């Protein structure tokens, strides 16, 4: 009884949130609060073990816990209806409190949780009323058929079934409403004033199994603190630039699209990426130079930090010196020739090459505040992560897969390597079974800010073998073999995999 009435409340709340603030849906509000309270070490463990499924697992876990807690509602309601109603109301109040304590939250954020409580309590009263309604037949029925108790139980089961189906329908309706709001495909992007060179073909077709030179947008990694994907209407969106500036500026989306655009091929990397990990991708980005926007506001000499804020109050800090040192930092509006997908920041996000995403890649950005580290600290800074985090040069083996079983004879190992801010990838070397480092073949270059494909043929003999790779950048720096965990400034070390040949 409790899970069904609670589920109906959650379904109704999700639909209401879809029309107002999707992030205020009770499960998402509670889950986001859990994320904020989770220690960094546990977050890193979840990312390492669950990857991009960590959010799905967390949402599912919160939902399961809520439904388990609501199982107590049935026994309480049978003792006294008020006890069960109070339990449901208490769960709704917890969700409302979580929603109200989110950054940028308003009083309206509590509405979906309140709706959940009202609907759940009303459903509980309905179910209990059907269970208690007297039967029209006698105690045993005219021919020994079911009596009042059995009929009441049947009515209760039917009502619960109808409520469960309604809960599922409401939840699906909420999903559909969210999916149809503020669609990025309705936006027409302008051509770049400063286009990128023609994109090289890569070696995707000549080396089967190699990592695609350009990562499709729907396969690009996503690591952030959001359980949902924000739904932002570009028509009502604006970017504010304030803080230590000569004149605060507010730019609408239409005004942003009217500014001169640059187009660049840039590889992004998440600081949570372990050695050989998947949280790196290469794409073509379209946007307005960050310095063009900052020049409009006039940055004070005292500012040493750009505190960027997203639509729901998440903050990221970027050193001013790194954001304005001549690299192609931009407020991006396009990805791979199309408007930004929602999952990657529609309608606008920061893209700053050479810096890990936690200090450079704010998605759904709405504000850039020029300030100092002494005056303000951002989300990740408060959790002990570095404030200056250039991407470490690295390489990755994508073929063969670790622990694969190969056939004897000619085999090919291959993958990608990146070395931003250091002259790009100059060479990739491989080693088999700890032997000498030998040069691999490189794919074409799309610029120093973009990764390069590489491959190396080798002769596989029966047995177990270890394969390793390392990159050397344009400045002659060799990828370090010293192992470091992602926290606090990015992982390092040389990837080595083991394969079997039989």
d(CA 333, CA 253): 9
Q: Which of 241, 236, 263 is nearest to 252 (CA)?
A: 236
B/e letters for 229-268, b = 16+ CB within 10 Å, e = fewer, are bbbbebeebbbbbbbbbeeebebebeebbebebbbbbbbb
If one compares 421 and 99, the residue with the highest pLDDT of the two is: 99
Rg (CA), the chain: 28
d(CA 495, CA 395): 8
Question: Per-residue pLDDT tens for 366-402?
Answer: 999 999 999 999 999 999 999 999 999 999 999 999 9
Q: Residues 323, 317: contact at Cβ < 8 Å?
A: no
Q: Which of 42, 402, 27, 63 is nearest to 50 (CA)?
A: 42
- Predicted local confidence at residue 131, as pLDDT: 58
Instruction: List domains and CATH numbers for the chain.
Output: 2-180 (no CATH), 217-383 (3.90.420.10), 394-501 (2.60.40.650)
Query: Does residue 66 surpass a pLDDT of 80?
Result: no
Question: Per-residue pLDDT tens for 143-198?
Answer: 445 555 665 577 777 777 888 888 889 888 887 887 776 677 789 999 999 999 99
Q: Residues 335, 285: contact at Cβ < 8 Å?
A: yes
Residue appearing with tokens 């269970």? 131
If one compares 210 and 56, the residue with the highest pLDDT of the two is: 210
Structure tokens at 414: 């291959």
Structure tokens at 354: 């050479």
- Predicted local confidence at residue 135, as pLDDT: 47
Q: What pTM does this model have?
A: 0.81
- Predicted local confidence at residue 206, as pLDDT: 93
Structure tokens at 322: 């790194």
Question: Per-residue pLDDT tens for 258-315?
Answer: 999 999 999 999 999 999 999 999 999 999 999 999 999 999 999 999 999 999 899 9
For residues 26-54, average pLDDT? 76
For residues 128-148, average pLDDT? 54
If one compares 141 and 466, the residue with the highest pLDDT of the two is: 466
d(CA 339, CA 127): 48
- Predicted local confidence at residue 152, as pLDDT: 59
- Predicted local confidence at residue 255, as pLDDT: 97
pLDDT band at 406 (very low <50, low <70, confident <90, very high): very high
- Predicted local confidence at residue 52, as pLDDT: 64
For residue 477, give Cα distances in angstroms to 418, 420, 474. Answer: 12, 12, 7
pLDDT band at 28 (very low <50, low <70, confident <90, very high): confident
Q: Which of 266, 261, 252 is nearest to 290 (CA)?
A: 261
- Predicted local confidence at residue 461, as pLDDT: 97
Burial classification of residue 26, based on how many CB atoms lie within 10 Å of its CB (0-12 exposed, 13-18 middle, 19 or more buried): buried
Q: Which of 449, 468, 443, 450 is nearest to 458 (CA)?
A: 468
Which of 29-33, 204-208, 282-286 shows the lowest mean pLDDT across its residues? 29-33
- Predicted local confidence at residue 138, as pLDDT: 44
- Concatenate the DSSP letters of all residues of 119-141 into one string: HHHHHHHHHHHHHHSPPSS-SS-
Residues 122, 126, 127: CA angle, nearest 5 degrees: 120
Structure tokens at 25: 């849906």
Strand partners, 285: 264, 335
Average pLDDT over the chain, rounded to an integer: 89
- Predicted local confidence at residue 56, as pLDDT: 75
Burial classification of residue 31, based on how many CB atoms lie within 10 Å of its CB (0-12 exposed, 13-18 middle, 19 or more buried): buried
B/e letters for 148-170, b = 16+ CB within 10 Å, e = fewer, are beebbeebbeebbeebbebbeeb
- Predicted local confidence at residue 60, as pLDDT: 77
- Predicted local confidence at residue 139, as pLDDT: 47
Q: Which of 29-38, 132-141, 212-221 has the highest mean pLDDT?
A: 212-221
d(CA 252, CA 273): 34
- Predicted local confidence at residue 67, as pLDDT: 73
- Predicted local confidence at residue 128, as pLDDT: 81
pLDDT band at 204 (very low <50, low <70, confident <90, very high): very high
Question: Per-residue pLDDT tens for 93-121?
Answer: 999 998 898 877 788 889 999 999 999 89
Count helices and strands in the chain by DSSP H and E runs: 11, 19
To the nearest whole percent, how much of the chain has pLDDT over 90?
62
What backbone phi and psi angles, to 5 degrees, belong to 405?
A: -105, 120
Question: Per-residue pLDDT tens for 334-362?
Answer: 999 999 999 999 999 999 999 999 999 99
């Amino acid at each position: 009884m409790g899970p069904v009435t609670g589920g109906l409340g959650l379904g109704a709340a999700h639909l209401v949130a879809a029309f107002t603030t999707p992030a205020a849906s009770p499960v998402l509000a509670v889950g986001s609060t859990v994320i904020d309270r989770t220690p960094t070490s546990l977050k890193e463990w979840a990312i390492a073990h669950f990857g991009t499924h960590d959010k799905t697992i967390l949402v599912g876990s919160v939902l399961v816990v809520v439904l388990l807690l609501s199982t107590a509602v049935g026994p309480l309601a049978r003792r006294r209806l008020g006890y069960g109603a109070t339990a449901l109301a208490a769960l709704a109040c917890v969700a409302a409190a979580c929603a109200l304590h989110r950054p940028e939250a308003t009083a309206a954020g509590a509405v979906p949780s309140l709706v959940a409580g009202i609907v759940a309590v009303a459903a509980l009263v309905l179910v209990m009323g059907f269970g208690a309604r007297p039967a029209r037949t006698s105690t045993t029925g005219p021919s020994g058929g079911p009596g009042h108790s059995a009929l009441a139980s049947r009515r209760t089961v039917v009502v619960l079934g109808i409520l469960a189906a309604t809960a599922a329908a409401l939840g699906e309706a909420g999903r559909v409403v969210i999916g149809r709001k503020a669609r990025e495909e309705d936006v027409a992007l302008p051509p770049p004033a400063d286009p990128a060179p023609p994109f090289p073909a890569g070696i995707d077709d000549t080396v089967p199994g190699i990592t695609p030179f350009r990562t499709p947008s729907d396969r690009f990694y996503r690591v952030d603190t959001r359980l949902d994907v924000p739904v932002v209407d570009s028509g009502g969106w604006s970017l504010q630039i304030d803080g230590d500036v000569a004149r605060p500026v507010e730019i609408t989306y239409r005004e942003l699209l009217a500014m001169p655009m640059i187009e660049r091929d840039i590889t992004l990397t998440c600081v949570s990426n372990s050695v050989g990990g998947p949280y790196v991708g290469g794409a073509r980005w379209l946007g307005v130079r960050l310095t063009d926007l900052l020049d409009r506001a006039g940055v004070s000499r005292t500012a040493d930090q750009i505190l960027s804020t997203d639509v729901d109050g998440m903050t990221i800090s970027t050193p001013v010196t790194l954001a304005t040192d001549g690299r192609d930092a931009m407020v991006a509006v396009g990805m791979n020739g199309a408007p930004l997908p929602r999952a990657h920041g529609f309608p606008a996000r920061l893209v700053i090459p050479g810096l890990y995403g936690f200090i450079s890649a704010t998605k759904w950005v709405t504000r850039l505040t020029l300030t100092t580290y002494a005056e303000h600290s951002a989300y990740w800074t408060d959790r002990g992560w570095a404030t200056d985090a250039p991407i470490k040069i690295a390489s990755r083996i994508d073929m063969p897969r670790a622990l694969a079983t190969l056939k004897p004879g000619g085999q090919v190992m291959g993958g990608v390597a990146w070395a931003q801010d250091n002259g790009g990838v100059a060479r990739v070397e491989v080693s088999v079974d700890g032997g000498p480092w030998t040069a691999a073949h490189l794919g074409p270059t799309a610029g120093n800010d973009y990764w390069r494909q590489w491959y190396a043929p080798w002769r596989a003999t029966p047995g177990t073998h270890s394969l390793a790779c390392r990159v050397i950048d344009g400045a002659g720096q060799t990828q370090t073999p010293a192992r470091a965990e992602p926290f606090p400034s990015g992982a390092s070390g040389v990837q080595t995999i083991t394969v079997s040949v039989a």
